């Protein structure tokens, strides 16, 4: 099986889909790796490091992709790049299938089998392939560092002959994978941390990290497949009322609230910002999927009523080396699963055979055999939920 990786073309994307370590692992399993020259230039990995794993270094993107059976990438291609993939080959990446209709249709027409890592089931068996979790985790860590670096205030309590400094107060809204890592990071830096999430099960996890869980009675909330359900208008306004005071007390607010396949909920309104202390910071994780904070703008720091609001589109890329390591591990586990024992019993050394009866393939495969096959994406595109149409 020939596995390729080309340089990421999206501005600011510093992560890579294969590292020398993952190349070595896949090569050992029998795959033939081809990586575009300078693939890892921004992530500390030279062509030499890849070559040492027996990977072939391709002089350009076209050369890397044209004979690939499987292409591994961080970002989805642009519609113009789709023609570079070989019909019948597979592509595994953050496909953004709930936003990038044009790319999905183009990949189907090209006959590429495109897998979306965002659709990985949140199950024990899929855990090591769960790229959303690995990247959320790095993002949660970095969001706190970003706020701490810009705050102009220390996070831990300090008692010195020159006076005592009170610990900074951090509020984390949304305590999923990113939020829990943000809580852990803020605690390690010595802040006083509290957190809120609509899923009640999270309370125990928040408390086990030594943070306080903010109790707001929203009535029935619940979850589906590990993901939060959307709140009603009434519940949303109760949540905002409950959190306004907590925001007003905070030096740093980190928001990580997301809804699967839907725009992110607004959890901090302009009115809430207006009640916060001048100079305090809000870091919005969801700026690319609609924004958790009213007025946040992608890749900018804006001042709203004296509060500094930041929303980066790509937090994991700020810790590109470790984000890449984790992502590459997720992808090699996924490719190993894809290759299965192989029709010819060859695994990674054999032909690519996509087993459409496999539960993980079914969950993540968006286009296959010239069609959009994922029921949710078919419905989104108005193609009906059945695969045949």
Asked if 272 is part of the footprint of ligand NAD (rule: CB under 6 A), the reply reads no
Asked if 267 is part of the footprint of ligand NAD (rule: CB under 6 A), the reply reads yes
Q: Shortest CA distance to 243 belongs to which of 208, 275, 283, 204?
A: 275
Q: Shortest CA distance to 45 belongs to which of 25, 76, 13, 15?
A: 15
Instruction: Single out the catalytic residue among 61, 99, 227, 313.
Output: 227
Nearest residue to ligand NAD, scored by beta-carbon proximity: 176
CA–CA distances in Å: residue 185 to residues 47, 145, 211: 34, 8, 11
Asked if 177 is part of the footprint of ligand NAD (rule: CB under 6 A), the reply reads yes
Asked if 123 is part of the footprint of ligand NAD (rule: CB under 6 A), the reply reads yes
Selected from 104, 139, 257, 352, the binder of ligand NAD by CB under 6 A is 257
* Collapsed DSSP state (helix, strand, coil) of residue 109: helix
Instruction: Single out the catalytic residue among 89, 113, 116, 133.
Output: 133
Asked if 331 is part of the footprint of ligand NAD (rule: CB under 6 A), the reply reads no
CA–CA dist 40, 10 (Å, integer): 14
Instruction: Single out the catalytic residue among 99, 122, 150, 275.
Output: 122
Q: Is 130 a catalytic residue?
A: yes
Asked if 167 is part of the footprint of ligand NAD (rule: CB under 6 A), the reply reads no
Crossing angle (nearest 10°) for helices 131-151 and 177-188: 40
Asked if 281 is part of the footprint of ligand NAD (rule: CB under 6 A), the reply reads no
Contact (Cβ atoms closer than 8 angstroms) between residue 19 and residue 50 = no
Asked if 75 is part of the footprint of ligand NAD (rule: CB under 6 A), the reply reads no
Q: Is 227 a catalytic residue?
A: yes
Q: Is 383 exposed, middle or buried (0-12, 13-18, 19+ CB in 10 A)?
A: middle
Selected from 174, 311, 316, 340, the binder of ligand NAD by CB under 6 A is 174
Asked if 291 is part of the footprint of ligand NAD (rule: CB under 6 A), the reply reads no
Q: Shortest CA distance to 183 belongs to which of 158, 157, 153, 203?
A: 203
CA–CA dist 145, 163 (Å, integer): 25
Q: Is 133 a catalytic residue?
A: yes
Encoding tokens for residue 389?
């149409």
Report the residue number, 19 or 258, with the smaller CB distance to ligand NAD.
258
Rule CB under 6 A: which residues touch ligand NAD?
Answer: 122-124, 127, 130, 132-133, 136, 173-179, 196-199, 202, 226-228, 231, 239, 256-260, 265, 267
Residues annotated as part of the active site: 122, 127, 130, 133, 227
């Amino acid at each position: 099986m020939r596995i390729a990786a080309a340089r990421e073309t999206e501005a600011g994307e510093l992560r890579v889909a294969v590292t020398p370590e993952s190349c070595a692992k896949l090569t050992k399993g029998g795959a033939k790796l081809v990586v575009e020259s300078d693939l890892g230039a921004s992530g500390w990995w030279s062509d030499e490091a890849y070559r040492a794993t027996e990977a072939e270094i391709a002089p350009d993107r076209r050369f890397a992709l044209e004979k690939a059976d499987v292409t591994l990438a961080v970002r989805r291609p642009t519609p113009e790049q789709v023609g570079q993939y070989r019909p019948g080959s597979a592509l595994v990446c953050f496909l953004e299938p709930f936003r990038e209709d044009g790319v999905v249709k183009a990949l189907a027409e090209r006959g590429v089998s495109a897998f979306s890592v965002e659709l990985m089931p949140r199950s024990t068996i899929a855990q090591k392939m769960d790229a959303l979790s690995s990247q959320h985790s790095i993002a949660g860590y970095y969001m706190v560092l970003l706020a701490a670096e810009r705050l102009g205030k220390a996070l831990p309590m300090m008692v010195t002959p020159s006076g005592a400094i009170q610990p900074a107060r951090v509020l984390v809204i949304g305590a999923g994978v990113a939020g829990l890592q943000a809580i852990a990071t803020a605690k390690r830096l010595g802040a006083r941390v509290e957190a809120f999430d609509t899923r009640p099960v999270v309370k125990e996890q928040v408390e086990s990290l030594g943070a306080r869980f903010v109790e707001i009675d929203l009535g029935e909330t619940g979850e589906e497949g590990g993901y939060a359900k959307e709140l009603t208008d009434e519940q949303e306004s109760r949540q905002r009322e409950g959190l306004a005071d907590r925001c007003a007390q905070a030096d740093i607010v980190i928001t990580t609230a997301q809804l699967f396949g839907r725009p992110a909920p607004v959890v901090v309104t302009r009115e809430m910002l207006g009640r916060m202390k001048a100079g305090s910071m809000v870091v919005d994780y969801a700026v690319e999927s609609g924004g958790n904070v009213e007025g946040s703008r992608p890749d900018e720091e804006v001042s709203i009523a004296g509060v500094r609001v930041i929303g980066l589109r790509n937090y994991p890329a700020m810790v590109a080396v470790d984000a890449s390591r984790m992502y590459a591990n997720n992808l090699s586990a996924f490719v190993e699963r894809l290759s299965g024992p192989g029709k010819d019993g060859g695994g990674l050394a054999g032909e690519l055979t996509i087993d459409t009866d496999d539960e993980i393939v079914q969950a993540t495969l968006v286009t296959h055999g010239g069609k959009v096959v994922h029921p949710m994406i078919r419905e989104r595109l108005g193609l009906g939920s059945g695969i045949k149409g």
